[in-house]
A and B are shown apart, each in its own frame.
Chain A
Amino acid sequence: MTSRWKFRLIGGLVIAVLAAAIYFPILRRRVKRAARLQQQSEEQARRELTQPIVINPGDPRVKTKVFWASDTIDSTLVPVTVELPLSNDPVLRSKQVLNTLLAGPVDAELRTLPPDALLLAFYLLPDGTAIADFSEALATSIPSGIVSEQLAVDSITRTLEANVPQVQRLKILIHGQEVETLAGHLDLTGTFVVNTNPDQPPVKPSATPSGADKPASPAADKAPAPAPGTLTPDKAPGKLAQPERKP
């Protein structure tokens, strides 16, 4: 090979290396951008699928009470009134108010539910029992503790109570499954009392085995005080049935 050809070959290689050095970072940026766009579109698609916030502008705008955490009193809820076009259909209406609750207040510190939690489905049975199915983030992202878990459930039940009179009790599912606790403390095996309006259709006994009903409002949240001087159980306990053992 002549020195002339060697020079041409080396020159060609240098040009190729320079071109690669310029093009490679551009290519890498494009790949990253494409991945980000795909992720965003997946997230968008997921939200569109799971959060059908059906807002019909023709619906009457009503003052809606949404319960978020108080910024003055520790671990309590306060109603915040927002004006929303709400459907008259109780299922749609429930979805609308719960999605508003999930979206959170302006001050993120006053949230009661994790920002990444989603309402996957909502059903209302003829007897007034509602079933709300939340994404797993409700259980995994919520701060663990009795007070935080109680506040989360209370915010859900009280928001429904204030806006959807047809919902009498609520069962909470996580990703379609019944779970024992929300995040290690609060009992989710039963149903929670939402409305006890006597004008509503009578509620049949809960199908859940435990029936761990919880009053939703603070006023009703107090257990009846024991009769003074007679500190005995409300009913004869009798023998204790054994629990079903898990393998």
Chain B
Amino acid sequence: MRNALRFAGLAVVSLLVTISGGCAPTPPAFFRLNMVEATSPSAEKDSISAEIALTAEQQRQVATILTAMFGSPDKPECLPETGLDSAKLILAAGPVRSDIVGRKNGLYREHCVHCHGITGDGLGPTAAFLNPYPRDYRPGVFKFKSTERSSKPTHADLVRVLHTGVAGSSMPSFALLSAGEVDALVEYVKYLSIRGETEIALMQYFFELDDEDEGKLAETRDFLVGEILEPIAGKWASAEEELIEVPEMPADIDLAASIAKGRELFHGDKANCVKCHGVTALGDGQANDYDDWNKNIVKIETKLAALAVGDADANERRWAAEFREVLAGDALRPRTIPPRNLRHGIYRGGRRPLDIYYRIHAGINGAPMPAAKGTVPPEDIWHIVNYVRSLPYDFDGELGADRAVAVQPSSVGGLVVSKASTASEEN
């Protein structure tokens, strides 16, 4: 009996010790400041230096202004100028819980946070393991939309992305959520994006201050709402008017002829597709460009590396050391963006002919893919679309005809001829 008591006592003590180590009360969620931007607040990441970096006081001011304008992850606020629906934001924000009528709240935290981060910075806990990286909403740039290149996506565009997911990436399809839940999530994404763009605009405005402002932003409605917020919100509001006009593809189109014409255009020098996508459309024409999110980090890292070998003063070196610390936590290792392998039949922005038309017409905002608008007439874009859509099912002829056979020395001596890898019938 005594032994039993001893054993039980021991078990209880060890359990308590284990639990107390790991179960501290969770601190409330908080938005993180865009530290990379705060350390290099410039539109051009080539021209950054210690002088333009924000001081701690200035960072605090930005954080305070953002809290005033946008609230916190648990309690979002939105000024009417943003054009956002605060009821939807409440549904999406905060911890996962049910509200008084039994509806699920905290949708963003349930579905999105672990990749996209609580601040929408694409730096959630799982982000580093993904290829491609999850979207960072803060620059306000979105790739897959039905609007012109420089415009924002429409509400329907973002709903579509949530509904179909992004094939070929880790972004899943949320088709199983209800329409109301998807709407709430889209609204919250827009909220995070507007907040991120406001943050960047505020940080970059410090350079525009005159000396008499003493390095402090004016905390007035005219400035914060009129000069900073309204242009950003205005771009989102005008997205519906900037849709790409898509002419009809003729219903009686001769598909084989269209594909042949598309192939000519693909290889031609009007559209220049092969320059990046390669003559066999395997995406091997180029391997050294970056998308905008990664390009900024590459520019910063180049700048820091140049500082290390040049003769920088103590201030610059301290700033560089601080920046390296910031990058270690707040930036993912930059990755090049390879041009799409069109033979896979996996299209990130959607596989409808319409989606591929959008990609060719406006290019992909944030990525190196340029716009063919104005240079390639719409009927020709349709021919290229038909050609591209035929590529995954094109098993003979093309690869043999176009591809210069890669010749490699084999270890045995003599030469080994290797064929280009093709997409198997399983995509």
The answer on A and B forming one complex is no
